[in-house]
Amino acid sequence: MKRLKIISVFLFCVAVCLTFGYVFSKEPEWVAASTRIDCGRTIIIDAGHGGYDGGAVAEDGTPEKDINLCIAKDLKAFLELFNYNVVMTRESDKSTESDNGKNSWKTSDLYNRLQLMNKYDDAIYVSIHLNKFTSTNVSGAQTFYSQKSENSEQLALSIHGKIISMLQPENTREIKKGTNSIYLLRNATCPAVIVECGFLSNREELEKLKTEKYQRMMAFCIFCGIMDYNNALRL
């Protein structure tokens, strides 16, 4: 009788272990796919401007650099949840220039941001900026892509598509090729895009861009776009 009891307890323990082992090892398919396959891929996030380079400044004095950094940090957090290797061009209110005595600080700053691309074989480059225009009616994100680097157009399509479908359904803009005047895109050595997340010159959009919630939503759209891009490449 005692022996029978020991066997039943043993069998019960085996059943519990098997059940929980199965449940906890079984992750949803989309989580498994993204964490396994993207593990190790490097995403360089460039929070535009920084330090004494404030970028565009809104009428109320809000500089572009601060909102760029908030969105960049939120994007980093989302990507790291999914095992991406994230490299930031800056994580505080600093520009990246180095004083080599040869170049102007702006040239040095852009050059240093570009150099990060050369350090990684599998990187993609996402630069976060904000727009400003003379007409205060203009609003909505704009995404530019590098003509030099293969797959940049696909990356821009994926990110811009998510911003429109998830956050700005009224936005009718299409992605644009970066002109030669955009140093980072002209010289890009990996898939590279600049996401202008909205217009500081539009009062309504400025108020949204200043909120943590909207910054996080924007970052989430960009994150989803990066996931989409990776999935498209695997097809």
Crossing angle, helix 29-38 and helix 212-234, to 10 degrees? 80
Query: In the complex, what is the shortest distance from the CB of residue 182 to Zn ion, in angstroms, rounded to a whole number?
Result: 10
Give the contact letters, 18-57, x = binds to Zn ion (CB under 5 A), - = no: ------------------------------x------x--
Query: In the complex, what is the shortest distance from the CB of residue 96 to Zn ion, in angstroms, rounded to a whole number?
Result: 14
Q: Which is nearer to Zn ion, 27 or 60 (CB)?
A: 60
Query: In the complex, what is the shortest distance from the CB of residue 122 to Zn ion, in angstroms, rounded to a whole number?
Result: 26
Task: Take residue 227 and report the two structure tokens written for it.
Answer: 């996931």
Task: Tell me if 178 contacts Zn ion by CB under 5 A.
Answer: no
Crossing angle, helix 212-234 and helix 64-81, to 10 degrees? 50
Count interface residues toward Zn ion (CB under 5 A).
3
* Cα gap 107→113, rounded to integer Å: 10
Q: Which is nearer to Zn ion, 48 or 225 (CB)?
A: 48
Phi, psi of 8 (to 5 degrees): -65, -40
Task: Tell me if 129 contacts Zn ion by CB under 5 A.
Answer: yes
Distance (Å) of CA 16 to CA 4, 13, 19, 25, 151: 18, 5, 5, 14, 48
Q: Which is nearer to Zn ion, 41 or 65 (CB)?
A: 65
Contact, 159 vs 119, CB < 8 A? no
Q: Which is nearer to Zn ion, 182 or 190 (CB)?
A: 182
Query: In the complex, what is the shortest distance from the CB of residue 154 to Zn ion, in angstroms, rounded to a whole number?
Result: 23
